[in-house]
Structure 1
Amino acid sequence: SGVSVGIFDDVEDLLAAVQGYVDDGYVRIKLKIEPGADIDHVAAVRDLIGPDTPLQVDANTAYRRTDGQHLARLDEFDLLLIEQPLPEEDIVGHARLAAEVETPICLDESLVSAAGTADAIELGACEIANIKPGRVGGYLEAIRIHDLCVQRDIPVWCGGMVETGIGRAANAALAALPGFTLPGDISASTRFYAQDIVTDPIQIIGGHVTVPTVAGMGFDIDLDVLDSVTTSTTTISF
């Protein structure tokens, strides 16, 4: 499992946060970037973690088509990928960037269906795919995108959307499919929640997540915790 690190105004604060995640055992670092907080930040983190720890960046649509030469400066840092540099609808722009930048271009927000993913791959805009079940409409569509990417030889990884233990268990199962060849963002539950609503929440042990193997969804609801935070209930009878 990898971890996603937000944008820091101070590089020293960024390095302290990254070192903490490395100490926690995460095997891949993802940095959020934007203009003015990219090249120097990536350089500092690469220097901190060394050449052997996988590093990638996520732009969250912060750049423009004309930023190809600037983003190409990231090539020297041996990144796994640059995630979603342009707005989600700009598939052609991503294809153009992919031709200018050696680091693989990964799509995130642009991918909302298997059909759209196929078009992006065909245009050369998607060299790596981030599959988020919540973004694509569920796990069936996520599996369709996975199968398509396997057929097209496109590496995939599983992104996170701040799920509780319910969604994290399902994401861990999804990420165990053979096409998921890059570390995903299935971080420990404690990173976001002081108390999860499942009895055995996701943990990071030695940089890895254990895929649930029990029957059903792979978790049990902690009913006492759930009751303590429930504000109302509705019963639907058939």
Structure 2
Amino acid sequence: MPRVRELEVFRLVLPYGRRPETILVRLTDYGGMTGWGEVVDPAPKTWRLLQEGLAEALIGVDWEHPDELGEVPGGSAADMACWDLWARMLGVPLSHALGGSRTSLTATVRIGAERNLESLVARVNRHVCAGYAHVTLDVHPGWDIEPLRAVRQAYPALGIGVDARRAYTDADALEAMDAYALSSIERPFVDLAGHADLQERVAAPVLLEISSAAELDEAIATNAGRALLLRPALLGSLREVRRMHDTATAAGWEIACSGGQGTGLARAATVAAASLPGCGLPCDVAEPPRSAQIVTPPVGASGGVVAVPLTQPGLGHNVDVARVRRLARDSYSV
């Protein structure tokens, strides 16, 4: 039975891009075993909630399963740490603790709009040569049919999905993309309205990014798509991740898992979630920049495939605690 005797919380500003913030939670039980969690780009109130409520919710509290804890203050970072600690105590990988069965995952790589078609095809070629069998192309009005045609002509057997990033207002252009044998049409519109009409017109599953069980229920009831983009980092708990997976699978929907940036911990949890039986679409868990990694082995794809860690319990990665402390802008412990 886990019982937390100490917790540490770290706030990091990551050394890449727009320098996003991430919060790490480390739990230690009375036997010295630890569990880690991460939330990337946390809400402004997350740090305060962790300071005010996490110790009271976890220190010295007996529990046999993370689900018993309900909504832990601070959201996904604390919840992930509880799951990691619990799986380590059981001696099982987090993927198995969640009910996952896959040993490896097909990865996709996201490719943004390029200056011209030649640059786009050359970029796709680099990823194909690196072993990727699937790419996801960013599209928007004015950059959609021609890029798709160029990539499909160059790579007739390549798996291709498109991410519309909610840039469209009608289904006509999106319907025309269906002629290029797409694996999915991701995030076509801002609102659910219109998705059902699009799904009726196209063979490819419409892939919806949904952040709550209630929204998923509505999407299923209105036939707004046939696939769920599952982002564990946006949900409050891994319990909710499993619930949405089970709901989508029962409805016959396909699932694609996607991870955030961060230090690697949040991506490791995404890999564990992607091992669930319903997650058959290619996943997006590209390796974080080396300047931000705190885990070994690094989380990412090799030859277009992501290995699910099965030789170590919990998240399956070792954390460089000294590096965490060096990167931390703020921290506290209880």
Partner residue, 2:149? 43
SS in 2 for 1:9: coil
Q: Is 2:164–2:185's contact at 8 Å kept on the other side of the alignment?
A: yes
CA distance in 2, matches of 1:174, 1:29: 21
Q: Does 1:69 align with 2:168?
A: no
Structure 2 counterparts to residues 1-238 of structure 1, below 5 A: 1-50=107-156, 52-64=157-169, 67-87=170-190, 90-108=191-209, 111-189=210-288, 192-213=289-310, 214-235=312-333, 237=334
Identity within the alignment, %: 33
- Which letter does structure 1 place at the counterpart of 2:125? Q
Unaligned runs of 5+ in 1: none
* Structure with more of its chain in strand, by fraction: 2
* 1:95 Cα deviation from its structure 2 partner: 1.2
* 1:209 Cα deviation from its structure 2 partner: 1.1
* 1:75 Cα deviation from its structure 2 partner: 1.4
Say which one has the larger Rg: 2
TM-score, with length taken from structure 2: 0.65
- Which letter does structure 2 place at the counterpart of 1:183? P
- Which letter does structure 2 place at the counterpart of 1:3? V
CA RMSD of aligned residues (A): 1.6
Q: Is 1:72–1:102's contact at 8 Å kept on the other side of the alignment?
A: no
Q: Is 1:81–1:104's contact at 8 Å kept on the other side of the alignment?
A: yes
* 1:233 Cα deviation from its structure 2 partner: 2.2
- Which letter does structure 2 place at the counterpart of 1:152? A
Stretches of 4+ aligned residues off by more than 3 angstroms: 192-195
Q: Is 2:159–2:182's contact at 8 Å kept on the other side of the alignment?
A: yes
1:61–1:229 distance in 2 versus 1, CA, 3 Å: same
* Structure with more of its chain in helix, by fraction: 1
CA distance in 2, matches of 1:195, 1:162: 9
1:7–1:187 distance in 2 versus 1, CA, 3 Å: same
Q: Deviations over 1:68-91 (max 9, x none)?
A: 22211111100011101100xx21
Q: Deviations over 1:163-191 (max 9, x none)?
A: 421011111111111001111101233xx
SS in 2 for 1:218: coil
Q: Deviations over 1:69-117 (max 9, x none)?
A: 2211111100011101100xx2121112222333321101xx1112211
Q: Please, which moves more after superposition, 12-21 or 170-179?
A: 12-21
CA distance in 2, matches of 1:223, 1:29: 34
Aligned length: 227
* 1:234 Cα deviation from its structure 2 partner: 1.8
Q: Is 2:274–2:283's contact at 8 Å kept on the other side of the alignment?
A: yes
- Which letter does structure 2 place at the counterpart of 1:157? A
